[in-house]
Amino acid sequence: MTDHVTAWLGAYHDGELRGLRLRQVETHLAHCATCRAELERLRALATLLQESPAAGDLTPPERFVAQVGLRLPRRPERPTWQRAMEIGWRLAPVGLLGAWAYGQAVFVVTGVVMDALQMGLGGDVVAGLLPVSQQRLWLAEVFSLSNVGLNDAGRIMLRMLSNGGPLGWGVMLHLLLSVVIGLLCCSWLASWWARRQHRQQI
Amino acid sequence: MSSQSASSAETELRLITQAQQGDRRAFGELVRRHREGVVNVVYRMCGDANLAEDAAQEAFIRAWQHLPSYRPRSPFRNWVYRIATNVALDALRRERETVDVDALSLAASDEGPETTMEEKERGERVRQAVLALPPASRAVLVLREYEGLSYREIAGTLNIPIGTVMSRLNYARNRLRESLTPYLEVL
């Protein structure tokens, strides 16, 4: 048998192997004297390390605890505003999620209402609420009044611009809100990660 | 988990909560519970018993200062061990600037009169061999061989991937086997 499992013997010795890898090592060990000898050497090393003396009894536990107690610094009381900031920081993701959900709801409801109005479902009373599409096209009107010569492509571009882009102002605002909330979420995650790393550095 | 260990874990959690709120007595109880393990980790890391006690106290003081930021997602023991490992490395770095690590043999543990010369010599060789390991590998070896932490716990304690735990442990064991060959043949 040539494919020795030397690299996995340490993990096997420590009881860290599971499933297929464990069975593979066990099967190999049953047939390979070299790896069995290697495993024995690992066990011998573990025994040697375990037998080496520990630190021994130096300071009695009670005295050690008392000494630590005497050296403990006074933990500074955090001011109220700092605690409030901490709570605010923890609640920030909830706030961002709420803002995003609110934006979504407004966008959907506005879309539904606008579609209903455009189909004339609201009657004459509410027809006045319809967006004045002509106002959106003010830029195009200005250009047409001033007789500025534009080719077809230019006119299409102008129309798109005056409508707030290819998707309209509503969609653009919605996208902007999503991007801003996304950026704020990323900043919060970066800040969370930095705090976590700081805790690891103790 | 047995009911006794569950109860012990609950008690520890209560002590941690109380200590986080500034209860020094509760923290003293936590120190009492983890003193032996922390002293042992620091001793195995730096190889000097006196230095180990000072560093262990330093580790507990650091733990006290950072206790409000501790979250009981990982065991308190592992959290304290991480602090102890860092403190030991700091202490060793400071000592290395002034003292030769090899000269620390006189300050090593008191093994008692019953220990034979041969055992003393073997213990000393093992200590020197462990100290000769790079600190990163030594920390993994100490947590595994002397404290019995699982690979996952070591990874969490030292904030490294499990693959790195395995490779550092393999490296440390290979180095030790080379330097302790005569003693391994005798066993």
pLDDT in tens, A57-72: 678 889 999 999 999 8
Cβ contact, residue pair A199, B69, below 8 Å: yes
Task: Locate A148 and state its tokens.
Answer: 């500025």
In a domain, A106, yes or no: yes
Cβ contact, residue pair A65, B65, below 8 Å: no
Residue A76, chain B, CB below 8 Å: the answer is no
In a domain, A184, yes or no: yes
Q: Same domain, yes or no, for A165 and A110? A: yes
Nearest CA in chain B to A202: B83
CB atoms within 10 A of CB A137: 16
In a domain, A59, yes or no: no
Nearest residue, CB atoms, B111 vs list A16, A56, A67: A56
Q: Same domain, yes or no, for A119 and A40? A: no
Residue A80, chain B, CB below 8 Å: the answer is no
Q: How far is CA A170 from the centre of its chain?
A: 27
Cβ contact, residue pair B130, A49, below 8 Å: yes
Cβ contact, residue pair A16, B183, below 8 Å: no
Going residue by residue through chain B, which has 187 residues, state the pLDDT in tens, using 9 for 90 and above: 566 677 788 899 999 999 998 899 999 999 999 999 999 999 999 888 888 889 999 999 999 999 988 888 888 999 999 999 999 888 877 776 655 555 544 444 455 555 678 888 888 899 999 999 999 999 999 999 999 999 999 998 888 999 999 999 999 999 999 999 888 875 5
**pLDDT score at A85:** 86
Which site among A9, A45, A51, A71 would you substitute to test the B interface, given the most B Cβ atoms closer than 10 Å to its Cβ? A45
**pLDDT score at A157:** 58
Contacts of A21 in chain B (CB under 8 A): none
In a domain, A81, yes or no: no
Cβ contact, residue pair A53, B35, below 8 Å: no
Q: Same domain, yes or no, for A45 and A105? A: no
Nearest residue, CB atoms, A75 vs list B22, B150, B169: B22
In a domain, A84, yes or no: no
Residue A96 scores a pLDDT above 80: yes
Nearest residue, CB atoms, B57 vs list A52, A67, A201: A67
Q: Same domain, yes or no, for A103 and A192? A: yes
Residue A82, chain B, CB below 8 Å: the answer is no
Q: Which domains does chain B have, with CATH numbers?
A: 3-186 (1.10.1740.10)
Contact present, B187 and A48 (Cβ < 8 Å): yes
Cβ contact, residue pair B109, A68, below 8 Å: no
Q: Same domain, yes or no, for A117 and A182? A: yes
Name residues whose C-beta falls within 8 Å of residue A110's C-beta, 6 or more positions apart in sequence: A170
In a domain, A143, yes or no: yes
Q: Same domain, yes or no, for A186 and A105? A: yes
**pLDDT score at B107:** 46
Name the pLDDT band for A134 (thresholds 50, 70, 90).
very low
Residue A46, chain B, CB below 8 Å: the answer is yes
Cβ contact, residue pair A56, B109, below 8 Å: yes
Residue A20, chain B, CB below 8 Å: the answer is no
**pLDDT score at A135:** 43
Residue with tokens 């579609």: A115
Q: Same domain, yes or no, for A34 and A132? A: no
Nearest CA in chain B to A63: B32
Query: In which element (H, E) is residue B104 found?
Result: none
DSSP assignment of B4-18 equals: HHHHHHHHHHHHHHH
In a domain, A103, yes or no: yes
Name the pLDDT band for A44 (thresholds 50, 70, 90).
very high
Does B48 or A10 have the greater pLDDT score? A10
Q: Same domain, yes or no, for A96 and A188? A: yes
From the list A52, A99, A199, A108, the residue with the least C-alpha distance to B123 is A52
Which site among A13, A68, A71, A83 would you substitute to test the B interface, given the most B Cβ atoms closer than 10 Å to its Cβ? A68
**pLDDT score at B171:** 96
Q: How many domains does chain A have?
A: 2
Taking one residue from A and the other from B, the number of pairs with CB-CB distance under 8 angstroms is 116
**pLDDT score at B24:** 92
How many Å lie between the alpha carbon of A4 and the closest alpha carbon of chain B? 15
C-alpha Rg value of chain A to the nearest Å: 36
Instruction: Please compute the mean of the pLDDT values over residues A170-186 and round it to a whole number.
Output: 86
Name which of A46-50, A71-75, A171-175, B166-170 the model is least confident about.
A171-175
Q: Same domain, yes or no, for A101 and A194? A: yes
Q: Same domain, yes or no, for A42 and A106? A: no
**pLDDT score at A163:** 53
Instruction: Please compute the mean of the pLDDT values over residues A129-134 and round it to a whole number.
Output: 49
Q: What percent of chain A has pLDDT over 90?
A: 32
Contact present, B180 and A48 (Cβ < 8 Å): yes
Q: What is the ipTM of this complex?
A: 0.80
Give me the domain span that covers residue A175. Answer: 91-200
Name the pLDDT band for A162 (thresholds 50, 70, 90).
low
Q: Same domain, yes or no, for A121 and A171? A: yes
**pLDDT score at A59:** 84
Cβ contact, residue pair B52, A53, below 8 Å: no
**pLDDT score at A129:** 54
From the list B20, B84, B77, the residue with the least C-alpha distance to B46 is B84
Q: Across A51-60, A109-118, A130-139, B127-136, which has the greatest mean pLDDT?
A: B127-136
Nearest CA in chain B to A15: B150
In a domain, A15, yes or no: yes
Q: Same domain, yes or no, for A98 and A32? A: no
